[in-house]
């Protein structure tokens, strides 16, 4: 099994102000609170019952929506990531990695872990990459803190199956980010090339082990 981590780990901690919570958790809470927000519920009904099939109901919903004002959205941007949250994010990731590795022994699967590149450490950005980085500027502190922790973590870097490839694109001039979090086809190719030898070596290792077991049967 191959795991490609980093961006979602940082973004979820930044969004929630806490580590170990799934990304967009506040959005899930709002979605499950639809009965308390009539404007959004009526919008959802309007989507589910199109006008061409339920003309009368659609008209009723549309008129009700006009008469109900949505409550003000007083949510502010996520505050800067606290050092404690950055440390806990790293701790949880390390614990999850160890847990998955431990599961591989009784269930018979091998693991490889890769810590992915991020746009903030790329030193030479194209205009489009610079614009993408500025769009996510509020998350930069979180990326810097957590990625620094990964680089300095002996608990991670002493594991033979963990590979920090976060610096893979840092010194390259060509644009590889299509936005703040996703790579272009060329960028993904470089990532795949950084992984392929490890994957092949692991396959060969398992093949040799299987052949050895057959020889002793």
What pLDDT score was predicted for residue 160? 94
| Same-domain check for residues 38 and 136 | no
Q: Give CA–CA dist 46/55, Å, rounded.
A: 10
Instruction: Establish if 59 belongs to a structural domain.
Output: yes
Q: Give CA–CA dist 159/98, Å, rounded.
A: 9
| Same-domain check for residues 86 and 178 | yes
The tally of domains found in the chain comes to 2
| Same-domain check for residues 61 and 95 | no
| Same-domain check for residues 135 and 101 | yes
| Same-domain check for residues 8 and 31 | no
Dig out the tokens for 216 from the structure.
């002793």
Per the structure, the complete domain to which residue 174 belongs is given by: 2-17+80-216
DSSP for 34-48, please give it.
GGG-HHHHHHHHHHH
Residues 6+ apart with CB under 8 A from 180: 119, 132, 133, 135, 136
What pLDDT score was predicted for residue 34? 56
| Same-domain check for residues 55 and 140 | no
What pLDDT score was predicted for residue 112? 97
Counting as low any pLDDT under 70, the low residues of the chain are 26-79, 217
> Tens of pLDDT along 75-105?
445 667 889 999 999 999 999 999 999 999 8
| Same-domain check for residues 43 and 97 | no
Instruction: Establish if 169 belongs to a structural domain.
Output: yes
What pLDDT score was predicted for residue 194? 97
Instruction: Establish if 202 belongs to a structural domain.
Output: yes
Using CB atoms within 10 Å of the CB of residue 90, give its burial: 0 to 12 exposed, 13 to 18 middle, 19+ buried: buried
What pLDDT score was predicted for residue 105? 87
DSSP for 68-128, please give it.
-PPPP--PPPPPPPPHHHHHHHHHHHHHHHHHHHHHHHHHT---EEEEPP-GGG-SS--HH
| Same-domain check for residues 50 and 105 | no
Instruction: Establish if 167 belongs to a structural domain.
Output: yes
What pLDDT score was predicted for residue 71? 44
Q: Give CA–CA dist 41/209, Å, rounded.
A: 57
| Same-domain check for residues 42 and 147 | no
């Amino acid at each position: 099994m191959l795991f490609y981590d980093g961006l979602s780990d940082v973004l979820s901690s930044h969004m929630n102000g806490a580590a170990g919570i799934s990304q967009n958790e506040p959005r899930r809470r709002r979605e499950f609170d639809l009965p308390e927000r009539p404007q959004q519920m009526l919008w959802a009904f309007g989507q589910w019952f199109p006008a061409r099939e339920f003309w009368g109901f659609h008209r009723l919903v549309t008129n009700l929506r006009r008469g109900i004002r949505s409550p003000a959205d007083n949510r502010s941007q996520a505050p800067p990531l606290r050092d404690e949250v950055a440390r806990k994010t790293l701790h949880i990731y390390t614990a999850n990695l160890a847990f998955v590795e431990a599961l591989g022994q009784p269930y018979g699967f091998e693991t490889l872990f890769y810590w992915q590149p991020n746009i903030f450490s790329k030193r030479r950005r194209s205009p489009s990459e610079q614009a993408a980085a500025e769009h996510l500027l509020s998350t930069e502190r979180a990326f810097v803190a957590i990625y620094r922790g990964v680089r300095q973590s002996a608990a991670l870097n002493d594991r033979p199956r963990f590979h920090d490839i976060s610096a893979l694109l840092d010194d390259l001039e060509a644009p590889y980010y299509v936005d703040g979090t996703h790579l272009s086809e060329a960028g993904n190719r470089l990532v795949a090339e950084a992984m392929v030898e490890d994957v092949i070596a692991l396959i060969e290792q398992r093949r040799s082990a299987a052949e050895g077991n057959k020889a002793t049967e």
